[in-house]
Structure 1
Amino acid sequence: MERLLTNYFETGSMILFGIGFVTLLLHNNLIKKIIGMNIMDTAVFLFFIAKGNIIGKEAPIIKGIHKGIEGYINPLPTALMLTGIVVAVSITAFALALTIKIYEKYGTIELDEITRMRGD
């Protein structure tokens, strides 16, 4: 239990991931599914950024005195998460555009009504 309280960023990201996953699975509305997917993305970003941060070290921006390689954190996790955020925004925009097209064709964004209309 103590480790859960010590690693509160990781614990919070796991809770967020669970909320997003449940939202993605239980709702038939396409917009709610997209929101659940975005919550899951955010949880993954929070988890990796929390793992990339080391208490007592600084970002690798040299201001004045160079502290050596042990004084700075690795910038790679942060750079990868910035790339992941760009990809997540692009996927969200694409999913919303597809949702608009589905609404124009079927007049609804509820998956159970769409499958009933298609006869599947």
Structure 2
Amino acid sequence: MAKHKIYTMSFASVYPHYITKAEKKGRSKNEVDEIIRWLTGYSQEELEAQLEKQTDFENFFAEAPKLNPSRSLIKGVVCGVRVENIEEPTMQEIRYLDKLIDELAKGKSLEKILRK
């Protein structure tokens, strides 16, 4: 079976869309970065290096220093699919991130988004 197109897209090509979505709703780039760091375990410097390298989504998540164990608490629907029911691990990680950015844009507090 062929890989989904998103796997080969560079994370850096989608990242500005996350920022735009958040900023349209009065949120900040720093909050987007904090969500990404929480989910993946990247430091800010490591995140910026991944963006600089134009790492694709598949490797962005494969190289993540420490995927947050609390990410399993992320529930809900993204693109008509329940994130907790996605069986393919990389796609689930991508949709977890999409869901967190959606929550940020909908005005949820960072504390709730980061499942504290």
> What is the TM-score with the length of structure 1 in the denominator?
0.25
Select the structure that is richer in helix. 1
> What is the TM-score with the length of structure 2 in the denominator?
0.26
Q: Mark the structure with the bigger radius of gyration.
A: 1
RCO (CA 8 Å, sep 6+): is it higher in 1 or 2? 2
